[in-house]
Structure 1
């Protein structure tokens, strides 16, 4: 006889099963292991390479990729790598010899054709100390221009529940001799695994195994690079050459350990500097507290020495590389100086009106606002590639024009043109993107069968109509917005985590209240609550949303629960939101870099949205502002100086995506290289990045966040 189990009890049973399975795998491991705090490092029997980092308090967490992942093989085991020298290039994988004795491991690799041999030492204990020594074994000078080590952290999305319980978000700071990696459990629970460079330097990182499949669920193999000069000499402020005379060596040493939280890890990194912030408005300073000499790498960065370090300023918007120097020790990072929100919005509006309206087309199609190559002004409109269509994410641009106009942010010279463009865009949308039922298709060139094929677009269209109503007071706008949300509900909207669903529903409901249409407003709010109930019951078993799991699934989930709490006052929604907030914050890292600090990991948009069709980490990506939005919408009882500061940092980081002339990039692909192609550059397509400005403006309009 058995009783019916609650959702929480079922989840506890499943968690126990996973922990038991993980524990049996560890205890049944036939190979050698080294101690690592309250856990161990499992070593491959054939090569001695670490194949798992196991924490006894969290045994189900897979911090490294394993052989169950089809695209991960022994070629990418931890500690494998490659060298490029003046004599040639080669990989190392299987050691010439290795032994494990007394809690230490020693490996020797002959890197044939490079003039180098590699000695690796691993010493277990409370921390795992790894030491890599590359020796010049020739009778001539060897110049190293490429040196990378495989560190295959398990950063992937095999489904929401599996991701949350087994995988890690990996935050990399390749800052020269100030370098580290922090692998955070995706559910925010349990120990983090931290790597801190103690000798030598990591000057860049790259991603491998990424472009062989068009999946958005894998980040790829992470390669930490002493130098990437051979492939991308200018990345990360410039890549060094390492010159070894006969018999000389280069040593890289790091420590790995378990950390209870992010702050305890940061306390252990021996940071040589502290920044007042990583971003600032032009005219405001960034102060650096350090004993080192601060040097500008990028032209235009003004460095003024102070008794405690330096003050940084710049006269023009942009990101600026700098170095922190102490003798042979050299660290590097970047800061951002940006225009005010008002100036940036005006720049973008001016650029959109001049370059991104498709006025060359016939009839209503001329009202579309489209992706544009900023190098030459050419429009990118491709019905066969949804992310270059004239709908979907491009809805950001008419929303930007109308919202900035409504808030009084636009200059007088732009107001009439902006309103005309918004009016024409409404005509285009009703002629080409919305059918008679309120269903939406992604672009005008798609067949009629595509209407209703994508729920993501619905809240964005509702945002436009709500903003347009504020300008025109045309009740037709509100009727259209309501029709779109009603149709979305009919085709499954309450069971789908559309970005901005909670926010656009709340904004429309407020307008309906003001019009005396309380029944319609109540219907919208009841759907928000019903959706919140549905996703609370699912727990971690979230459905697929174009990607198996990601930050822009989790952020709308937290926003949904916060809005349900606002509507009902019921504590279970707030408790659910706070639990899932930990999932969301796991995507954000604390790297002292203006493109990285607080910015969520996202690694596929360069392929789908950019001209270069390039996978790889995109930093900053505009949907990272969804995290800032959640932090800004927390109840006052759960907001703090720290949460507000993090939200501000995320909003400011995304200012890096706009040029001084109002041009923009949809994707800055951050790694030094991806599968051997030089990156660390902005894609030249202005496409969908304006959602960042839209979210920031709405936060100001709703008085959830101060203006910049």
Structure 2
């Protein structure tokens, strides 16, 4: 976003003698030419980079902190290099000429206990104008170069754009302190966007985070509605923020002075959410509010997400809550929909029992053998597991029970003919080349999950034989040195079934593989090897699951200590924003591209793999598990219910930002694809860890 011209470069004057602003226990390092912060540094953790490193190729001064863009009824303009820069005592003032948009911009930054920033856009014309786009770059270093580097140098950026109630929190990826917190103290942030989130950098870069005073020009209906800002001639719009260092989330939350508190952000239809606030509240249609002594009681008879709008004393804020159907009801509806729409019954032979994605707009099935995440294997395995678990729990509609079991029996034939070879190795889809068997280790524990469930239903010893074959083959292919999702949980389930049926030696071999894998990854410390991406939540969760199962099997303190050390790595992925799509939900920003029909990068909230965090939290040893971890686990399970509609349809990806690379988002992808593993995880946690059905 470079607005520099030959004319403006000549007008710069009175630059600061030192391009550093001190605040608290750290400083802002200013770009010598533009005055924009190009880095924030903390004295106690000088290796940590809270902003994207200026030397990274896909980062440039166009995206430095505080640069931005505006669209008005007069025109449009970006800003980067000021026409005037004045330095003061631990402060700076920048002036920008935005006459193409009918504005000037004055930016002041002042150090101290906090770094305060003031942006003032003034209408310089003789007539009124409307601002429909006003965006400021906030390039937090939410980057995953490698596990070791990410844990040591990078941050997770948790953003809450609730209007006047808005903040961002850049937390070290290893869960250490301090974190860098931004709080809006005047004006509003009504949404956020992502830029440069494109395929050239794939899944290891979240992109440049952009804070939007309004994103009306691109996504007017996002985040509960984006305002148009009206400025009379000579009038100005002011946004003020403060940046500071915080040793904990509670310390930061206390500083935000939240105007409202929710008893939860998601509840079952028929239940309620208590809202404590002194402000007036206005609900979206379909949400009912009843006045209470401390605020409001929220209820709804229709499943869905709803915005709650808060106002009073010149203050405007908003956030989302969710009301969902019960787990058994949701499972039954999903099973019915899958049977009706996602069984590929038109295909020949055993392929007719395969399960595939579906475009919920049309009901047409979506199969692409060359796009791995749209094949009839890999993550589509979760549908077969869901069908069998639903039968085993008795959670199908009565008229669907027999058909569901027949489909599960047929799917077993399909998988043995098309997805597994004679050794038990899997491939990603029925049309994938034969040389691809065993190339993607993720899939094998998921197929083994299905055999666990199918055995519970049929007591067919063939299922146990297949369990042993698949898990042994996984070890032969390097599974003990690979963090397969659900490997530890599936191995524990398989071992339990084998022991119950007189096959203790095989059970012991499977569990020995889990312990051996845990020993290997414990020895690596922070140097976790890359998997499909360099570093992600669904690498750390399986790592912790391994250590938890190894501790259960051995009782050795080394595994308990490993769990304690690594748990903050996992929890730092999870947001704590007061929003039903964000609270406890792990940052994931690529799933819409790989799994959705819109193929859009951008934060996917909630994504079902966030439920892996629940698995870890509910399986924690008693020495580590707390009321807080149990509460987060429950919240994650309930918030993921946002991905299912009352008619049994579903979405594989809700791309959360208001826009990504200039395209409107904050919407659900129409593809029902891979989201059902969340339901499987919830049911397994009920079976094994006593999780609540509600």
Cα offset, 1:309, TM superposition:
0.9
When normalised by structure 2's length, the TM-score is 0.97
SS state of the match for residue 202, structure 2?
coil
Confirm or deny that 1:546 pairs with 2:532.
yes
Match of 1:26 in 2: none
Match of 2:541 in 1: 555
Match of 1:413 in 2: 399
Q: Contact 1:610–1:683 (CA<8 Å) still a contact in 2?
A: yes
Match of 2:80 in 1: 93
Distance 2:95 2:292 in 1: 47
Match of 2:462 in 1: 476
Picking from 685, 688, 696, the partner of 2:682 is 696
SS state of the match for residue 376, structure 2?
coil
Match of 1:534 in 2: 520
Match of 2:588 in 1: 602
Confirm or deny that 1:33 pairs with 2:20.
yes
Distance change (3 Å), C-alpha of 1:30 and 1:696: farther
Q: Contact 2:148–2:527 (CA<8 Å) still a contact in 1?
A: yes
Cα offset, 1:410, TM superposition:
2.3
SS state of the match for residue 405, structure 1?
helix
Distance 1:597 1:190 in 2: 20
Confirm or deny that 1:213 pairs with 2:200.
yes
Confirm or deny that 1:489 pairs with 2:506.
no
Q: Contact 1:633–1:704 (CA<8 Å) still a contact in 2?
A: no
Match of 2:263 in 1: 276
Picking from 318, 321, 338, the partner of 1:352 is 338
Distance 2:335 2:650 in 1: 11
SS state of the match for residue 86, structure 2?
strand
Cα offset, 1:30, TM superposition:
9.2
Distance 2:59 2:583 in 1: 29
Moved more, 681-690 or 634-643: 634-643
Match of 1:103 in 2: 90
When normalised by structure 1's length, the TM-score is 0.95
Paired residues, what number?
679
Cα deviations by residue, 1:633-686 (Å, 9 ceiling, x for unpaired): 012232222111110110011000001101000000000000000000000000
Cα deviations by residue, 1:86-111 (Å, 9 ceiling, x for unpaired): 01111100011112211111000112
SS state of the match for residue 456, structure 2?
helix
Picking from 396, 399, 422, the partner of 2:385 is 399
Distance 1:240 1:608 in 2: 32
Confirm or deny that 1:639 pairs with 2:628.
no
Distance 1:158 1:684 in 2: 31
SS state of the match for residue 645, structure 2?
coil
Q: 5 Å matches for 1:149-160?
A: 149-160=136-147
Moved more, 688-697 or 638-647: 638-647
**Unaligned stretches of 5+ in structure 1?**
1-28
Moved more, 559-568 or 95-104: 95-104
Cα offset, 1:305, TM superposition:
2.0
Distance 1:112 1:75 in 2: 19
Match of 2:11 in 1: none
Distance 1:584 1:31 in 2: 39
Q: Contact 2:38–2:54 (CA<8 Å) still a contact in 1?
A: no
Match of 2:247 in 1: 260
SS state of the match for residue 383, structure 1?
coil
Picking from 236, 242, 262, the partner of 1:249 is 236
Cα deviations by residue, 1:253-283 (Å, 9 ceiling, x for unpaired): 0100000011110010010000010000001
Distance 2:291 2:104 in 1: 43
Cα offset, 1:578, TM superposition:
1.6
Picking from 290, 293, 306, the partner of 2:280 is 293
Distance 1:260 1:335 in 2: 28
Match of 1:302 in 2: 288
Distance 2:504 2:17 in 1: 67
Confirm or deny that 1:616 pairs with 2:602.
yes
Match of 1:117 in 2: 104
Cα deviations by residue, 1:20-74 (Å, 9 ceiling, x for unpaired): xxxxxxxxx9951111111111111001100111101111000000222111000
Cα offset, 1:411, TM superposition:
2.9
Distance change (3 Å), C-alpha of 1:436 and 1:114: same
Q: Contact 2:618–2:689 (CA<8 Å) still a contact in 1?
A: no
Confirm or deny that 1:361 pairs with 2:347.
yes
Match of 1:177 in 2: 164
Picking from 147, 152, 161, the partner of 2:134 is 147
Match of 1:21 in 2: none
Cα offset, 1:308, TM superposition:
1.4
Distance 1:677 1:537 in 2: 44
Distance 1:320 1:636 in 2: 36
Match of 1:678 in 2: 664
Q: Contact 1:84–1:146 (CA<8 Å) still a contact in 2?
A: yes
Distance 1:495 1:638 in 2: 26
Q: Contact 2:619–2:689 (CA<8 Å) still a contact in 1?
A: no
Distance 1:214 1:396 in 2: 28
Following superposition, which runs of at least 4 residues in structure 1 exceed 6 angstroms of deviation? none
Confirm or deny that 1:341 pairs with 2:327.
yes
Q: Contact 1:669–1:679 (CA<8 Å) still a contact in 2?
A: yes
Cα offset, 1:379, TM superposition:
0.7
Cα deviations by residue, 1:468-521 (Å, 9 ceiling, x for unpaired): 000110110111111011111111000000000000000000011011111101
Picking from 657, 660, 667, the partner of 2:646 is 660
Distance 2:66 2:127 in 1: 27
Cα deviations by residue, 1:502-560 (Å, 9 ceiling, x for unpaired): 00000000011011111101101110010001001100111111100000000000010
Q: Contact 2:24–2:113 (CA<8 Å) still a contact in 1?
A: yes
Distance 1:86 1:505 in 2: 62
Q: Contact 1:558–1:577 (CA<8 Å) still a contact in 2?
A: yes
SS state of the match for residue 113, structure 1?
helix
Q: Contact 1:278–1:593 (CA<8 Å) still a contact in 2?
A: yes
Distance 2:17 2:373 in 1: 49
Q: Contact 1:300–1:314 (CA<8 Å) still a contact in 2?
A: yes
Distance 1:227 1:597 in 2: 23
Q: Contact 1:31–1:42 (CA<8 Å) still a contact in 2?
A: no
SS state of the match for residue 568, structure 2?
helix
Q: Contact 2:481–2:521 (CA<8 Å) still a contact in 1?
A: yes
Confirm or deny that 1:51 pairs with 2:45.
no
Confirm or deny that 1:509 pairs with 2:477.
no
Distance 1:407 1:701 in 2: 10
Cα offset, 1:214, TM superposition:
5.3
Q: Contact 1:407–1:701 (CA<8 Å) still a contact in 2?
A: no
Match of 2:5 in 1: none
Cα offset, 1:364, TM superposition:
0.5
Match of 2:486 in 1: 500
Cα offset, 1:625, TM superposition:
0.4
Distance 1:702 1:323 in 2: 40
**Unaligned stretches of 5+ in structure 2?**
1-15
Distance change (3 Å), C-alpha of 1:212 and 1:703: closer
RMSD: 1.0
